[in-house]
């Protein structure tokens, strides 16, 4: 099993709501997942760094949602 995590946070600006969020996934068949991810992101290579909130990657985001629907993938999420 492979586990991948990423974090988001806002602990610096006390004027805004404070949060920390750790999200990720665990997957059994990593090779198959990355093969499909590489296929999905290929049309977007050469652009700026991929960020989920960047509207330039809306089509990639929709394809990514298909990936997380895999039966061998478990989503992990903690927010405070």
- Closest-CA residue to 69 (of 30, 27, 19, 39): 27
Determine the average pLDDT of the residues in 53-59.
86
Instruction: Please write the tens of the pLDDT for every residue from 21-49.
Output: 899 999 999 999 999 999 999 988 876 78
Structural domain boundaries of the chain? 2-79
pLDDT at residue number 15: 82
Q: Say if residues 65 and 59 touch (Cβ distance below 8 Å).
A: no
What span, in angstroms and rounded, lies between the C-alpha atoms of 80 and 75?
Answer: 17
Tokens of 9: 């946070």
What span, in angstroms and rounded, lies between the C-alpha atoms of 61 and 63?
Answer: 5
Predicted TM-score (pTM) of the model is 0.67
Of the given ranges (10-14, 27-31, 66-70), which has the lowest mean pLDDT? 10-14
pLDDT at residue number 26: 94
Q: What number of other Cβ atoms are within 10 A of residue 18's Cβ? A: 11
């Amino acid at each position: 099993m492979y586990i991948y995590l990423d974090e988001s946070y806002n602990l610096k600006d006390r004027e805004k709501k404070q949060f920390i969020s750790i999200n990720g996934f665990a997957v059994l068949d990593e090779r198959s997942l990355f093969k499909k991810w590489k296929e999905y992101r290929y049309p977007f290579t050469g652009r700026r760094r991929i960020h989920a909130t960047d509207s330039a990657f809306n089509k990639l985001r929709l394809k990514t949602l298909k990936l997380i629907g895999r039966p061998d993938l478990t989503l992990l999420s903690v927010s405070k």
